[in-house]
Structures are given as C-alpha cells and as structure tokens.
Structure 1
C-alpha cells in the first residue's frame, strides 16, 4: 500500500507542472518513523535553545553589547533555517506528505540560500567584533556602535538577497517536463535543477560561483581577522592574558566549524562522491539545518556566564 500511495502521488506530481514530489530519504522509507525521532528531538532543542537565547539577550541589560547583538542575529537565522526545512521534513516522515508546489519550493530555496549567506556575513561581523575587542579594546565602544552594527546586518541581508534573486530567476525559467520527484527531504537547489528538461549549465555555474564567492570571501575575511588577533595575543607577555583572550574566541570558532564544515562535506559529496549512497548525502544535508542551530546556543550558553546565570533564573521562575 505505501508503494502504491507513493506511485500515485508521483504520478499526480508529474501530471501537474506546478506540483513537485519530495522523496524523503530514498531507500530508507521504511525507517522514516525511526529517523524522525533524532530529527524531531534536535529540532525541538534548537527551537527551545534559540528562543531562550533571544529572550535572555533581550531581557538582560548587561548583554546589550555588540557581541550579543550579533549572537541574537545568529539565533534568529538558526530559527529561520531550521523552521524552513524541518516541518516539511517531519511531515514526510510522519504523514507521508510529500507534495509541494513549485512556488512553495522556490520560496523554501530562497530562504535557505539567502539566510545561509546572511549567516555567513554575521560570522564575518562576529570575527570583526573579536578583532576590535582584542586588538583595539580602547576604541571598541566607538567603533562598534549600534548604528555600525545595524549597517553590518543590513549589508549582510542586502548581499544575500542580491545573490539569491538571480539564482531563482534562472531556476524559474526552466521547463520541468519530465519527472517532478525531488530526491531529497526539501527543495535543494541542485536536486531541483536536475529535473529540468533543458540546459542547466547557467544554474550550475552560478550556484558554484555564489558558493565560492560567499564562503571564499567570508572565510578569507575571518582568517585575516584571526591572523591579526593571533599576532596581538602572542605579543602579550602574560600566558594568563593570552588564554583569556583566546577563550573569548572559542565560541565563535566553534560556530564557524559547525556551520562551514557540513557545507564543504555535502558540496564535495554532491559533486565528487559518486560512490557515496544517496541517503547518506541527504541525511547529512538535512541534519545540517538542525544540528548547528541546536549547538550554537549551547556553546555560547556554556561559555558565557551572564547567559548561564540568566537561563538558570529563567528556569527557576525568578526572571519575572
């Protein structure tokens, strides 16, 4: 019966050019219910952690500083990325709800690509924040004003939108006259492009260009910031002061590692890992949108005393 339902859904998608059909995890359909347990658990923790982090930053005056404003941006972005993918993914696992309209698919892709680019820009801003705090501490308050922080956030948003718009103009013009079955849990760009029955070289080249441009540029800027930070910290005579300076960067470095590493791995597997089973690639790509959002508030919560204390008060019911 499940196979007949899947086949009828697929045929329905193929007959209607405005409807697509998400496969979930090919080859593991029988395990969808079990797979949903870790996904749902991590998603729940991500929602709780990031909402708590936003609430704590908003209500704690001592956290109204540039570093925590950037952290609030990161938490909001994590919420958007996880809620853009997980509800539909879980509906596939739980209810076999696989259909998605072309417009909904494009909207989902737009949010995923644009908010990843914004997230990357925020990581650059956080690296600049650490650079100023360690290398120019006396000018920290005058350099990173609220106005400058707002402009940095707006610049990251503008860049992301300008880069994302052509991606979807190119995709929207493609004809989909063959299968409408997307081999994924969400509308991943290349998985949709592969369904087109026309030349897709522009889409492929532009997708690679945007990834290299955004990730390459941002990682270069982050690296330059940390080279300057490293030179400044190593010039400090006291080992204790060196460790203290480095400890203020640990959370940001963890965030960089958690966000960029899965992108590189999935990109390499997608283009060169032909021997890797499709379900491995799909599991990794799907888990990316909930694992970093779950870990970021935990990492920053553990490393930041003000956040830890405020969260303890919150869960003891003494914050109001």
Structure 2
C-alpha cells in the first residue's frame, strides 16, 4: 500500500491547508476546542465557512474561544457544548442533544502524563479521557456522521503511542504498577486502533476515519511536567523544519488534523496514521521521539478486540 503524501509539510499551518476550500454548510465538532491545537483546528474550519461546535469541559473558556474565533474569521456560527469525556453522562448528553448531520468530528481533547487517578467507574483517567470518552462520543454520533454522507472522524494521537501498546488484560493497571508515561502511551495507541477499526466498520456509510500525530507543540498538555524541565526543554528545542524536527506553533500543530478533516484527496482513505501532513512510515520504534507509527498501533486484530472491550465497558457504565 503506497503511503499518502500531500503538498504540505511540518511547517504548514491549518489555515494554509484549508486555503481555497469552501466548507459552507458543513458542521464540525472539535473536542477540547477552547485552547491549543483544538482552538486552531476550530479556527481554521470556521475560517473556511464551517459551522463549528466547541465541545469543552469549561464552558466559560469555550465561550471566550468562540468569540475569539468569530472575531478572527468573521464567522459567528461557532457554538459551545459542555463535554467531560471522563463522564459518560456528559458524553450522552451531548449525543442526545445533537440534531441533524455531522460532517466532521475531531477527537482532539486529551490529558498527558497525569498522576494516577480513576473515574467513578474505576477507569484509569488517561485511557478514560483520551480513548473511552471519545469512543463513546463517536459511536453515539455515528448516525449523524452517516447522514452527512461524506463525513470525517479525526483521532488525535501522538508519537507517545510508542511508549506502550494497549494491554487488553490490564487496561486500568490493576495488575501492574501505575506509570504515567505507559498510561499515556496506551491511550494514544488506542486512538490509532480506534481509527483502524472505526474505518473498517463505517467506510460503507461514507465515514472516513484517520489518526494523527500533531507534532511537538507547547500547550497546556504539558501541565504535569516538572516546571524546570519544561522551561529548559523549551529553551533548547528549535522551531520545526519541513521534516518536523523541532517544535511547532499551535497553528502548525493543527494542520494535520485539519488536513484529515477536509482534504478532498483523502475521501474514503482511512484507518491510517499521519504526521506532518503525510501518512507516517510503519516502524518498529518511533524515531527521534516524533516520527513513525508502530505496527502494533495499526494491527487489525488488536483494533477489533479493543473495540469489543470498549463497547462492553461503555455499555456497562453508560
């Protein structure tokens, strides 16, 4: 299978990716759209004419982001819905309130390397937020996506998936010591596996599903890093080059998400993992901490098993 390439690279911005596209009449939901990459993803979609809903945990921050987007793009059709991905009741409320077709769902929100914590359902918080909440949201909105005929689901993963495969026998660290990096890694692997299986199941409904690595971007995602380490790293890492070596701006970090959400050439091509606006190379280990997708994250057997486990968990606690 030939890897997909595009005219863009690691230095491209989300606005450059949608330049010349008319998204009028298309409706998009961006989780975590109040800040960082999510905000710039939403801004680019709105700037191209889409109606955008920011699904956010903090509605006040969401409303401020919506005003910012409207001011910068001239598109005031930006809405805000409350969403706590770690609470299936919150996910169900958004799903139940949605009416009509949905053309783009960007599963962008996430947490990284958080201290050990569990939801009231007993789910490890990173897997609950990054994977299971988004899984429940996408499955709940499947009918709305199918009604759009040419819909896109974008699963924001990370090169951090290289830290760990999904341990289907111990998802919530019942049998092994908790490690924040391992927990994050398996949640990001789950994001890719979701795209693999969702596309297999939903392609016939006109729904294209892909996963991506945004690149290295300084956002609130690093809030659990040691402050001294964070500042020292920021001072040392240069701006990205065309090959994605270095740190990106949030606008550059949003480019691959927006590409997967809008680029006409990707219609019907799913179940893949992208980085720097191109499909990534399959590798045994992630290179330079940033590049390549581990084969285990694309394994269709594991993807199908994770889907079954996720369905059972969401059905039991939803």
TM-score normalised to structure 1 length:
0.29
Larger Rg: 1
More helix by share: 1
More strand by share: 2
Larger RCO of the pair (alpha carbons < 8 Å, separation 6+): 1
TM-score normalised to structure 2 length:
0.29
